[in-house]
Amino acid sequence: MCTDFAMILQFLAPSLKKLFSALPPEFLLSLEEIRLRTSQPVCLRTAQKDYWLNAQGNIESSYNHAYCLTREEMNKTVLLLADSSLYALEEELRWGYLTLPGGHRVGLSGQGVVGHGELKTLKNINCLNIRIAKEVPGAAQEILPYLWQDNSVLDTLIISPPRAGKTTILRDISRTLADGSGGKIPKQVGIVDERSEIAGSRDGLAQMDIGCHCDILSGCPKEQGLPLMVRAFAPDILITDELGNPADIGAVWNASLCGVTIIASAHGSDIADMQNRPVLKELAAAGIFHRYIVLSRRKGPGTIEGIYDNQFRQLRGAIG
Q: In the chain, what are the domain boundaries?
A: 3-131, 144-317
Which pLDDT does position 1 carry in this prediction? 45
Task: Tell me the fold of 144-317.
Answer: Rossmann fold (3.40.50)
Task: Tell me the fold of 3-131.
Answer: Beta-Lactamase (3.30.450)
| Pick from 263, 274, 186, 173: nearest CA to 226 | 263
Q: Walk along the chain (320 residues) and give the pLDDT tens digit of each residue.
A: 445 688 899 999 999 999 999 999 899 888 999 999 999 999 999 988 999 999 999 999 999 999 999 999 999 999 898 874 455 567 677 778 888 888 898 999 999 888 888 888 788 999 999 999 888 899 999 999 999 998 899 999 999 998 899 999 999 999 999 999 878 899 999 999 988 889 988 888 899 999 999 999 998 899 999 999 999 999 999 999 999 888 888 899 999 999 999 999 999 999 988 888 888 888 888 889 999 999 999 988 899 999 999 999 999 987 65
Alpha carbon distance 186, 246 (integer Å):
32
**Residue 190 vs residues 16, 180, 235, 262: alpha-carbon distances, Å:** 39, 15, 6, 10
Which pLDDT does position 3 carry in this prediction? 52
Which pLDDT does position 172 carry in this prediction? 96
**Residue 29 vs residues 2, 85, 224: alpha-carbon distances, Å:** 8, 31, 37
Which pLDDT does position 319 carry in this prediction? 65
User: 78-102 burial, b for 16+ CB within 10 Å, e for fewer?
Assistant: bebbbeeebeebeebbebbbbbbeb
| Pick from 40, 60, 58: nearest CA to 50 | 60
Which pLDDT does position 84 carry in this prediction? 47
